[in-house]
Structure 1
Amino acid sequence: MKKKGILSLVGLGVAGFLATVAYVNHFDNQQKEKLLAQSAVQNPSAKLVEQVLYDNQCQYCHTPNAEVPFYINLPIVNSIMQDDINKALDHFLLREIVDHLDNPQQISATALAKLERVVINDEMPTKSFVHLHWGSSLNAEEQKVLLDWIRKQRQDHLLPANTEGASATSFIQPIPDSLKTEPAKVALGNLLFHSTALSGDDTISCASCHGLNTGGVDNLATSTGIHGQKGGINAPTLYNSAFNFVQFWDGRAATLADQAGGPPFNPVEMGSKDWAEIIAKLEQDAELKAAFLQVYPNGFSGDNITNAIAEFEKTLITPNSPFDRYLKGDASALTASQQHGYALFQQYKCDTCHSGINMGGNSYELMGTKANYFADRGTPLTADDNGRFSQTQDPRDKHRFKVPGLRNIALTGPYFHDANAENLQQAVEMMLKYQSGVTLPQQDVSDMVDFLHSLTGELNGKTLVNEKVNEKQ
């Protein structure tokens, strides 16, 4: 009787599990059909991608407030599942893909890289999810649909034009030799970039914090502004900023021109009152005024000044680094150590967020997806630690920052928005811990640092240098 009782309990358990799976499968199909019915996607290939994503229930973990099966509300299960969902939302939102399926030029290099990496590694859905959601794993045909579509979007929208080595199968692209600019505006922008007339007391220029001979930064934890005041956040490099999707750590400037219009009126930075004050000083330079009128017939204005500075900044790109030459097919451009460092860079998914031409600057990401960066830092939080949240007030954006580009990174320390990493060794170790969740042997870390040194490019045909510090940190 005892044996029969045990068998009966096992049978009931199996029956209950199968009944749950049947319910979940029915629920999944209902959700998929509902979402597809609500969809406005028109492009046939895009609709196929959308169907694959919903067929595999990606929305449950990667869409805020998604309708989910009943079991998430069960005791114990609820806390486990909610934790998994929160982590999934920290890493990736499905809307970054599905909201732009009919306008794929709006999809970032990072969003495509994240999706491709998951497909290539066969990482999603998780095994625990598949146990209840039978049939939710991507099959070979679905993987092909996604990979073909991802690479088509990269080919059509993200590869630099007329650039050898650009590839739809690579997350990272070489820097093009140049961007199209208007030389007369560039010349004026160069003068304005170096002009202290943009500051309230005529002591600070754009170049003060973004030195062109110091890697496009000032190598300070925070920059020094008018009257010796100190800013609250580390100044990012100006080099290759033309490839960023927005400007500033919190993304408050949509364009280079928007960015150029910010610091002149920041009371801690350049401290001018308004454009009228700046223009009054610029008009005292008869030669500059005459040259400006040749290019801008309506003369000095905030829009014209920032337009010229932005045009100049578009020339501050640094192609032909050893890594660029490697991407173009020269295997000898990287040492064995650097090649191993690049392999590790890919293995630990650094190339998903640090993707595209600038190896970053394509997305906002949470600082500390694998561990609590700010708790470990051990210093009080500041307003600048809020990141994107300061602009959106969306709780999900707290501690989320625009990912910095890695080009010329060996020249631009200290690192992170708070300058918490003094050198590349520390920066790599911290990123591995807080973003990848791993601790590597010192030799591996050293190889990754060596790889980052290969990202130093050329300006006007000469290797970029930082005259203030030794590149080998």
Structure 2
Amino acid sequence: MKKIILGCAILAIAGYLGIVGYIYHYDQQRQPATADSDINTILTKHGCDYCHTQSAELPFYASLPVAKQLMQYDIKTGSRHFDLNPTLNALRQDGAVPEVDLAKMEAVLQSGEMPPLRYKAVHWSGELGDADRQTLLNWIRAQRERFYTRPGTPEALRGQALQPLPESLPTDAQKVALGFRLFHDPRLSADNSISCAHCHQLGAGGVDGRVTSLGVNDQHGPINAPTVFNAALNFSQFWDGRAADLQQQAGGPPLNPIEMASTSWEQIIGKLDQDARLKADFQRVYADGFSGDNITDAIAEFEKTLLTPDSPFDRYLKGDDSALTAQQKRGYQLFRDNKCGTCHTGENLGGQSYEVMGLKADYFADRGNLTEADNGRYNVTKNEADRHRFKTPTLRNVALTAPYFHDGSVTSLHQAVKDMLKYQVGVTLPDSDVDDLVALLDGMTGKYQPSAPPAN
């Protein structure tokens, strides 16, 4: 009996070694289809694309029972956390890798948590050596310096994931002045009762403080109004990203039947046309006069001025160690330890990716009463992988923008932090740690310097 057991054990070991030996050879022979850069080779050689793309050529055992189910689970889970395709596409085109992708890769390279042990058990080449790890980290820094670092950035900040806000963005002063007037003009709404500033109050964090905004005839919108401050730095607009830029976003609410409820731009222009002063000023800037494109262009130009630089956190990033309190510094360490900066990254501390709400626990099952707005990005793409994905909100001025999340379901920043730790990170921290994180977020409140309103 002992001989049989020993023989079986030897066969099992031999089988295991044979399989992993084949897999090692297979992994070593893999080459990217359309690129031969060192970075692409490293990512492919170590099998990152197996679980973080939907298109990788999988090894033979991926079709075997048990292994198939395990790999399908790993691919689904891996893709929910991180899609490698934008990175691979950028490498092929010698372009910019998304900031969030760089931050996510940097985080796991520094922590050593990728690839997971189960993967490395059969993929001996999956382990990243020190040389490859450092090559990737150097490349991430170079990407940031090349594509995401503004001129004049101090050397200590170059290549870092988190950046201070710029003081301003280039704008056309005449368009800004017109945009200011239109942003505050209720004639964009059907009954002349609601302006852009109605839901995006510049004296209240760029929001209205409601769970969802009230439109014409006190109709409730389906989703929480995001702040207009620093929106110019977002990679898309609205929670579901249906607007590519500020101008597209500005064109949505006036014609939305729940929000401002105008039936057409012709209806709006018919009212503005009666304002001789505005009409004359507008034609001096836009020779063809009022149009939907020109109106939204002016509003977007004004919104580019809605930056809030010089927060304590910005000053700390720039080297002023006294800008943050001891509690806020503890919060910043917790922020880094829990990888909050992988999604809340860049100058805007967010607004650069669509993330699944509920990576570590089922947010929507716990909350209940699903609505169409809860589908998030799926409403735009109809891709099932985008269901419950939302544009990551900025953390700037977050202390001023309650209630929180796309559904406005949380009224306190303390509870919002606890929920993010539970649903996105998968941890529970002591209240004292949560307080430290909240203190840090308080330190991300910046200063808005209003543009001088045009003379009447």
TM-score, length basis structure 2: 0.96
Residue by residue over 1:11-69, the C-alpha shift from the partner in whole angstroms, topping out at 9 and shown as x without a partner, is 11111111111222233245x13xx2x21x3xx7xx11000000101111111153323
Correspondence for 2:408 = 419
Instruction: Tell me if the contact between 1:200 and 1:270 (Cα under 8 Å) persists in the aligned partners.
Output: yes
Instruction: Tell me if the contact between 1:247 and 1:254 (Cα under 8 Å) persists in the aligned partners.
Output: yes
Residue by residue over 1:145-203, the C-alpha shift from the partner in whole angstroms, topping out at 9 and shown as x without a partner, is 11111111101111233345872342110001111111111000000000011001100
Correspondence for 2:2 = 3
Correspondence for 2:376 = 387
Instruction: Tell me if the contact between 1:410 and 1:456 (Cα under 8 Å) persists in the aligned partners.
Output: yes
Correspondence for 2:202 = 212
1:453 pairs with 2:442: yes
Residue by residue over 1:433-471, the C-alpha shift from the partner in whole angstroms, topping out at 9 and shown as x without a partner, is 000000000100000000000000011299xxxxxxxxx
Measure the CA separation in 2 of the matches of 1:375 and 1:352: 25
Measure the CA separation in 1 of the matches of 2:308 and 2:249: 20
Measure the CA separation in 1 of the matches of 2:57 and 2:297: 47
Name the CA shift for 1:302/1:461 in 2 (closer, same or farther; >3 Å).
closer
Correspondence for 1:364 = 354
Measure the CA separation in 2 of the matches of 1:218 and 1:332: 33
1:326 pairs with 2:316: yes
Instruction: Tell me if the contact between 2:311 and 2:444 (Cα under 8 Å) persists in the aligned partners.
Output: yes
Secondary structure of 1:401's match? strand
Q: CA deviation at 1:118?
A: 1.1
Measure the CA separation in 1 of the matches of 2:94 and 2:440: 32
Q: CA deviation at 1:131?
A: 1.2
> How many percent identity over aligned positions?
52
1:284 pairs with 2:274: yes
State the one-letter code of the partner of 2:186: T
Give the gaps of 5 or more residues in structure 1: 463-473
Deviates more, 1:184-193 or 1:106-115: 106-115
Residue by residue over 1:84-114, the C-alpha shift from the partner in whole angstroms, topping out at 9 and shown as x without a partner, is 2211110001102001114455422101100
Residue by residue over 1:315-342, the C-alpha shift from the partner in whole angstroms, topping out at 9 and shown as x without a partner, is 0000000000000001111011101111
Correspondence for 1:466 = none
Measure the CA separation in 2 of the matches of 1:320 and 1:163: 15
Measure the CA separation in 2 of the matches of 1:340 and 1:461: 33
1:80 pairs with 2:70: yes
Measure the CA separation in 1 of the matches of 2:125 and 2:98: 29
Instruction: Tell me if the contact between 1:163 and 1:174 (Cα under 8 Å) persists in the aligned partners.
Output: no
Measure the CA separation in 2 of the matches of 1:229 and 1:5: 77
Measure the CA separation in 1 of the matches of 2:409 and 2:74: 29
| Correspondence 1:250-329 to 2 at 5 A | 250-329=240-319
Measure the CA separation in 2 of the matches of 1:165 and 1:209: 40
RMSD across aligned C-alpha pairs, in angstroms? 1.6
State the one-letter code of the partner of 1:334: L
Deviates more, 1:218-227 or 1:99-108: 99-108
Measure the CA separation in 2 of the matches of 1:232 and 1:12: 61
State the one-letter code of the partner of 2:15: G
Instruction: Tell me if the contact between 1:387 and 1:398 (Cα under 8 Å) persists in the aligned partners.
Output: yes
Which of the numbers 213, 219, 222 marks the counterpart of 1:223?
A: 213
Secondary structure of 2:306's match? coil
Measure the CA separation in 2 of the matches of 1:129 and 1:164: 40
Correspondence for 1:148 = 138
State the one-letter code of the partner of 2:353: S
Instruction: Tell me if the contact between 2:80 and 2:356 (Cα under 8 Å) persists in the aligned partners.
Output: yes
Measure the CA separation in 2 of the matches of 1:15 and 1:393: 47
Name the CA shift for 1:77/1:435 in 2 (closer, same or farther; >3 Å).
same
Deviates more, 1:101-110 or 1:220-229: 101-110
Instruction: Tell me if the contact between 1:240 and 1:317 (Cα under 8 Å) persists in the aligned partners.
Output: yes
Give the gaps of 5 or more residues in structure 2: 452-456
Q: CA deviation at 1:73?
A: 3.8
Correspondence for 1:138 = 128
Aligned positions, number: 451
Measure the CA separation in 2 of the matches of 1:339 and 1:89: 33
Instruction: Tell me if the contact between 1:59 and 1:94 (Cα under 8 Å) persists in the aligned partners.
Output: yes
Measure the CA separation in 2 of the matches of 1:165 and 1:284: 54
State the one-letter code of the partner of 2:270: A
Correspondence for 2:25 = 26
Q: CA deviation at 1:70?
A: 3.5
Q: CA deviation at 1:404?
A: 0.4
Secondary structure of 1:458's match? coil
Correspondence for 1:13 = 12
Deviates more, 1:155-164 or 1:185-194: 155-164
Measure the CA separation in 1 of the matches of 2:76 and 2:153: 40
State the one-letter code of the partner of 1:447: D
Measure the CA separation in 2 of the matches of 1:383 and 1:248: 15
Instruction: Tell me if the contact between 2:143 and 2:159 (Cα under 8 Å) persists in the aligned partners.
Output: no
Correspondence for 2:336 = 346
Residue by residue over 1:210-252, the C-alpha shift from the partner in whole angstroms, topping out at 9 and shown as x without a partner, is 0001100001000000011000000000000000000000100
Name the CA shift for 1:103/1:321 in 2 (closer, same or farther; >3 Å).
farther
1:407 pairs with 2:362: no
Instruction: Tell me if the contact between 2:23 and 2:123 (Cα under 8 Å) persists in the aligned partners.
Output: yes
Secondary structure of 1:99's match? helix
1:93 pairs with 2:83: yes
State the one-letter code of the partner of 2:173: P
1:199 pairs with 2:173: no
Instruction: Tell me if the contact between 2:149 and 2:159 (Cα under 8 Å) persists in the aligned partners.
Output: no
Secondary structure of 2:91's match? coil
1:436 pairs with 2:425: yes
State the one-letter code of the partner of 2:23: V
Instruction: Tell me if the contact between 1:338 and 1:454 (Cα under 8 Å) persists in the aligned partners.
Output: yes
Measure the CA separation in 1 of the matches of 2:275 and 2:447: 33
Measure the CA separation in 1 of the matches of 2:307 and 2:155: 17
Residue by residue over 1:295-350, the C-alpha shift from the partner in whole angstroms, topping out at 9 and shown as x without a partner, is 11111111111111001000000000000000000111101110111111111111
Instruction: Tell me if the contact between 1:194 and 1:205 (Cα under 8 Å) persists in the aligned partners.
Output: yes
State the one-letter code of the partner of 2:239: W
State the one-letter code of the partner of 1:19: G
Deviates more, 1:140-149 or 1:201-210: 140-149
